[in-house]
Amino acid sequence: MNKDITLEARNKAGNYFKEGYNCAEAIFLTFREYLAPEISPETVKLVTGFGHGMGRTGCMCGALTSSIMALNMIEGRTSLEDNRYSAYDCAGEFHERFVNEFGTSCCRALNPYPFESPEHLKNCLKITGNTGKLLMDFLQEKGLYLEESKIST
């Protein structure tokens, strides 16, 4: 397993968050680069509402939600004839790994600080970066990431 790329993914996700993207956007933009660079960066708008637990409701963590979207870039189906169960399996397994790492998938439990307070932003930065690391580890373990020669640095 390439630990350099794992740390790179963590740092990219964290840097997108520091630039002002929310947790979901940061994960999506990071893994779009790795997994589907042909997808326009403008498609980040598809994940904006996942931030702060689905539009500030505090439900499913946006970083986790976008991680599942990243997995779907590889395992998702494009027709009814395609198998959907490999995508379900990856999503379920990554969700379980996320919960094992962070203790929950619920945004309000992961980050109990007032929205956009300094404490909230610091904690969300940590969660976002570590989710990027967790996802890259998962992709490498499953053999789902592109060859290193194709990954931008």
What are 85-104's pLDDT values in tens digits? 999 999 999 999 999 999 99
The whole-chain average pLDDT of the chain stands at 93
Residue-level pLDDT at 150: 45
Q: Whose structure tokens read 């373990």? A: 141
User: Is residue 148 over pLDDT 60?
Assistant: no
Residue-level pLDDT at 147: 52
Of 32, 2, 7, 4, nearest in space to 133 by CA: 7
The model's confidence at residue 145, banded by pLDDT at 50, 70 and 90, is confident
The residue ranking higher by pLDDT, 152 or 113, is: 113
What CA–CA distance (Å, rounded) separates 145 from 133? Answer: 13
Question: Residue 106 corresponds to which amino acid?
Answer: C
Token readout for 141 is: 């373990």
Chain center to CA of 152 = 17
What CA–CA distance (Å, rounded) separates 6 from 61? Answer: 21
